[in-house]
Structures are given as C-alpha cells and as structure tokens.
Amino acid sequence: MEPWMQAQIDALVDRHGSVPPPWVMYDEHPYSICWRMGGGESHVMLWSEWWNRQGLTEDQKVAYFREWPPPPCWLAFLIEAVWGVDACDEGTNASAYFQRTARLGFGSQADYERDLDDPKWLER
C-alpha cells in the first residue's frame, strides 16, 4: 500500500473510529462520476483497502453497516461488502441477498430499485 493511503486511513480511523463508507463522505449516487475520479475515487480506494484488511466476520460486517446505514441505492455495495456477491451481475440471484438486507432492516430490492431511479439524484 502507498504511504499516503495508510496516512489517510489512519487519519480517518482516528477521526471516526473506522473508515466511513462512501455515502458518508460524499452524498452521491453510487453510479456518479464522483467514484471514478478525484476525492470520491480516492475514498473508495481507501475504504476498500481498509475493509479488506479488517478480517471481519459476517456479524461484524453487518454491525459496521448498522453504524453507517446505507441509503437504499447503496444496498448492492453492502451485499458485495458483506457477502462478496456482485448483486448487479446478471448471473447472480440477487433477490436472495436483497431478502437478507430486508430482514436485517437495511431495505428491500424494491427500495433499492426505487432509490436508484429517484429524480433527486439528477438534481445534483
């Protein structure tokens, strides 16, 4: 890992107790260009590096997302982070994972789809 990354991860952990997920740092749609360049892209890189080094159990991962609840349009991100499943892959039975997110109180597939298409994201 690059030294700048470790320094920024350390600063985020010092400030927040962990590295906050992307939606906490930038109030953007998950498909926004924000995540492909500049500060948003850097934050996703930092978060991913930090997350992958944590070695968390499923229960610990769920607890992290309870601390930082995602907006419904970020449920696919949660699914990948917790269960390692790409909910957007056509070969994945995403409905089973969205049922799990609903049972955990994060939202359903309908909530996810509705929020993805919410015009509020276009107003930004």
Q: Which of 9, 40, 55 is the last residue of a domain?
A: 55
3-state secondary structure labels for all residues of 82-98: HHCCCCCCCCCCHHHHH
Examine the domain organization and report whether 84 and 67 are in the same domain.
yes
Closest CA to 110 of 94, 124, 123: 94
Greater confidence (38 vs 16) lies with: 16
Examine the domain organization and report whether 47 and 66 are in the same domain.
no
Q: pTM of this prediction? A: 0.92
The DSSP output letter for 11 is H
Alpha carbon distance 30, 28 (integer Å): 6
**Residue 73, pLDDT score:** 96
* pLDDT confidence bin for 124, thresholds 50/70/90: low
Averaged pLDDT for residues 100-121: 93
CA dihedral for 90, 32, 124, 105, sign (positive or negative): positive
State the total domains in the chain. Answer: 2
Examine the domain organization and report whether 61 and 122 are in the same domain.
yes
Residue 62 belongs to domain spanning = 57-124
